[in-house]
C-alpha cells in the first residue's frame, strides 16, 4: 500500500505541552532554521485545561504563533490528554506515526522528570524514547497506517527545568550557541500570553538567566544544554576543541 508523504524534516522536537520546546530549546531550533534545516515541533497534548487559557483554540493559536516566530516548518499537536499523559501503547504509536510520516534524522525529547513541575514531562520522555524505537519496527505496518518504516539517526535530550542545575545523565553533554537567537527564543515564549501574563514576568528572567549561565560555561553569550544518548565522537580534534 502506497502512502503519500510530505517532504522530510531534518529534526523534530517533542514536548509534552505547547511552550515546553520553546522554553528548553527554542534558540537552537531558530538557529537551525537560519542554517537552512527543516525543523518540526510535536506537542503531545494541547496543554488544556490550564488556569490562564479560555479555550484550547487560544492555546493552539499561541503555539502556531510561537512556531511562526521561530520559523518552524511543521507543528503537530497529538490528541493525548494533558495532566493524564502516560507512556502507553496508543501514545507511542501516534508519535511513531509522526516520525514515519516526516522521517527526521534527529529527534529531541525531554531529559526525564522535572521536580515540582508536571509529571507529564517524564511520561513524555519515556513515550518519545519508545516511539523512536517503534518508528523502525518492521512487520507491523497495520499498526502505523501503513506508513513506511523509518530509522531515526540520532536521539538527543533537552533539560526542561529552570530551577535545577543538575546535569541529566547521558553519554555526552554539549551546549549550542544561541547568542544570535536568544531574542527569538524569548519572543516565542512570550507568544503564550495566556500562560505568561505580566504577573509571571519572572519566567522570562529565568529563561534568559539560564541561557546566559549555560552559554557562559561554554564561552558563549547564551546557550542551551543538550544530552546525547550515545557517546559523541569527532574526526577533527582541533576543530572540535577550538570551536
- 6 in a domain, yes or no? no
pTM comes to 0.95
Question: What are the pLDDT digits (tens) for 111-121?
Answer: 988 888 899 99
Is there a contact between 99 and 131 (Cβ–Cβ < 8 Å)?
Answer: yes
Predicted local confidence at residue 83, as pLDDT: 94
- 3 in a domain, yes or no? no
Kind of pairing between the strands at 106-110 and 39-45: unpaired
Question: What are the pLDDT digits (tens) for 140-179?
Answer: 999 999 999 999 999 999 999 877 777 777 778 999 999 9
User: Residues 4-20: what's their mean pLDDT?
Assistant: 97
- 143 in a domain, yes or no? yes
User: Residues 113-131: what's their mean pLDDT?
Assistant: 93
Is there a contact between 91 and 78 (Cβ–Cβ < 8 Å)?
Answer: yes
**Does residue 129 have a pLDDT over 70?**
yes
Determine how many CB atoms are found less than 10 A away from the CB of residue 184: 21
- 1 in a domain, yes or no? no
**Does residue 26 have a pLDDT over 70?**
yes
- Give the cell for residue 16: 509534552
Predicted local confidence at residue 19, as pLDDT: 96
Predicted local confidence at residue 189, as pLDDT: 98
C-alpha R_g of the chain: 17
CA proximity to 95, closest of 121, 66, 130? 130
The enclosing domain of 104 has a CATH number of: 3.40.50.10320
- 5 in a domain, yes or no? no
User: Residue 212 sits in which domain range?
Assistant: 11-242
- 196 in a domain, yes or no? yes
Predicted local confidence at residue 171, as pLDDT: 75
- 2 in a domain, yes or no? no
- 210 in a domain, yes or no? yes
Number of domains in the chain: 1
Phi, psi of 106 (to 5 degrees): -125, 140
Predicted local confidence at residue 238, as pLDDT: 85
Helix segments in 115-201, DSSP class H: 120-134, 182-190
Predicted local confidence at residue 241, as pLDDT: 83
**Does residue 2 have a pLDDT over 80?**
no
Question: What are the pLDDT digits (tens) for 36-90?
Answer: 999 999 999 999 998 888 999 999 999 999 999 999 999 999 999 999 999 999 9
Predicted local confidence at residue 1, as pLDDT: 62
Q: Report percent pLDDT > 70 for the chain.
A: 99
Amino acid at each position: 500500500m502506497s502512502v503519500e508523504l510530505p517532504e522530510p524534516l531534518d529534526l523534530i522536537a517533542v514536548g509534552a505541552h505547547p511552550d515546553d520546546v520553546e522554553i528548553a530549546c527554542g534558540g537552537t531550533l531558530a538557529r537551525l532554521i537560519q542554517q537552512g534545516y527543516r525543523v518540526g515541533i510535536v506537542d503531545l497534548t494541547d496543554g488544556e485545561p490550564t488556569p490562564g487559557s479560555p479555550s484550547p483554540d487560544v492555546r493552539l493559536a499561541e503555539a502556531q504563533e510561537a512556531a511562526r516566530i521561530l520559523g518552524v516548518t511543521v507543528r503537530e499537536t497529538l490528541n493525548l490528554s494533558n495532566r493524564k499523559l502516560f507512556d502507553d501503547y496508543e501514545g507511542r504509536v501516534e508519535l511513531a506515526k509522526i516520525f514515519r510520516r516526516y522521517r527526521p534524522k534527529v529527534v529531541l525529547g525531554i531529559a526525564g522528570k522535572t521536580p515540582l513541575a508536571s509529571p507529564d514531562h517524564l511520561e513524555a520522555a519515556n513515550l518519545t524514547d519508545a516511539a523512536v524505537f517503534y518508528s523502525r519496527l518492521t512487520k507491523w505496518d497495520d499498526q502505523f497506517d501503513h506508513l513506511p518504516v523509518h530509522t531515526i539517526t540520532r536521539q538527543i535530550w533537552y533539560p526542561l527545568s529552570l530551577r535545577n542545575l543538575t546535569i541529566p545523565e547521558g553519554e555526552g553533554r554539549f551546549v549550542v550557541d544561541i547568542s544570535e537567537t536568544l531574542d527569538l527564543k524569548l519572543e516565542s515564549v512570550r507568544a503564550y500570553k495566556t500562560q505568561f501574563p505580566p504577573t509571571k514576568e519572572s519566567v522570562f528572567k529565568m529563561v534568559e538567566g539560564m541561557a546566559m549561565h549555560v552559554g557562559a560555561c561554554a564561552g558563549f553569550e547564551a546557550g542551551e544544554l543538550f544530552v546525547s544518548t550515545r557517546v559523541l565522537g569527532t574526526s577533527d580534534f582541533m576543530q572540535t576543541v577550538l570551536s
